Amino acid sequence: MTKLFLSSVLLILSLILPIWMFSEFHQPFVENFDSRTLENFTYVSRGSDADFKWTSGTTSQKEKSTSVLSFKLDPKDPAGPGRGPEISSNKQVHFGHFAARLKVPDATFRQPNIGAVVGYFTYTNDSELGLSEIDFEWLLADPQVIYLGTWTGKSGNLKRVGRTINLAQGLIYANEYREDANGIREDLTREQHQPLMIETIPDFDASKDFHTYGFDWYPDRIRWWMIHPHKGDTLVLWDYQGKRGIPQHPSKYLMNFWHTDNWAVETNPKSLEKSKHRFELEVDWMSYEPLKTNL
């Protein structure tokens, strides 16, 4: 009777409690990177094990009163995501609200053709369920450009919804759905293409100052946003409500910095060079809040 009773209680709790209450999921947190020890993340890298590639609790070069997570590129690292410095959440995350304050490295004068990516994202690749990925990405060769999107589907048949924007010029370069394996590429329209226009912020440059970026992940919608650098309110970058491309299964929560030799920024097709310097990414904080459900 006791075991049966406990099993019944656990079943009821699993149906009524928020998903983060169970041990494999994160509770709400803010990681401030104010000490060497990470509370909610683990450092990982499949590249070199050089000590200089990362540290937490170090003083920002931009804001002397701010402690940050510092990522530095190792010119010896091979190309590919995960070869540079990376942190991954200790537990899984799911539908909810994600935010981070960071400053992208400034490489435009020292190495204008650099091929390097800053990624802020969720990710898992399950053998049965396939890929679950939600991205914010910046390419150092043009820090006025931001890439937003998701990856879903199984290996060999991945599906992408994405938007590429230039805030300094108020441009939307692309707003599309694609399946590379099948050669499918379609422009997104209506509820998949909101807002239709992006506000121009003439002095925007992700490498000049810290900015707060975030995304809200719902079962039927993803909204990417940032805090407006002058007005201080929320600027919606993309409110995607399409029927395709919204990840459904739990993921890990990550930040990384890596060399790409096959993805040039929208405005510079030559930007594929391996880094010649230890360019530094600074992250002030990262946060996560699970989606509240109506019980």
Cβ-based neighbours of 78, under 8 Å, separated by 6 or more: 47, 259
Q: How far is CA 143 from CA 51, 65, 81, 127, 232, in A?
A: 27, 24, 19, 35, 20
| Whether pLDDT at 6 is above 60 | no
Domain spans in the chain, listed from the N-terminal domain onward:
24-290
CB–CB of 275/73 below 8 Å? yes
pLDDT tier for residue 207 given thresholds of 50, 70 and 90: very high
Question: What is residue 15's predicted lDDT score, i.e. its pLDDT?
Answer: 45
Question: What is residue 4's predicted lDDT score, i.e. its pLDDT?
Answer: 46
pLDDT tier for residue 23 given thresholds of 50, 70 and 90: low
pLDDT tens for 253-295 read 999 999 999 999 999 999 999 999 999 999 999 999 999 874 4
| Whether pLDDT at 5 is above 70 | no
| Whether pLDDT at 11 is above 70 | no
The tokens for 154 are: 């199984």
Architecture of the CATH domain 24-290:
Sandwich (2.60)
pLDDT tens for 42-85 read 999 999 999 999 999 999 999 999 999 999 999 999 999 999 99
DSSP 3-state of 15: helix
Question: What is residue 181's predicted lDDT score, i.e. its pLDDT?
Answer: 86
Question: What is residue 10's predicted lDDT score, i.e. its pLDDT?
Answer: 38
Question: What is residue 292's predicted lDDT score, i.e. its pLDDT?
Answer: 86
Segment 238-242 long-range contacts (CB within 8 Å, at least 24 positions apart): 238/148, 238/163, 238/165, 238/175, 238/194, 238/195, 239/194, 239/195, 240/161, 240/163, 240/188, 240/192, 240/194, 241/191, 241/192, 241/194, 242/161, 242/177, 242/188, 242/191, 242/192
CB–CB of 133/268 below 8 Å? no
pTM for the whole thing? Answer: 0.91
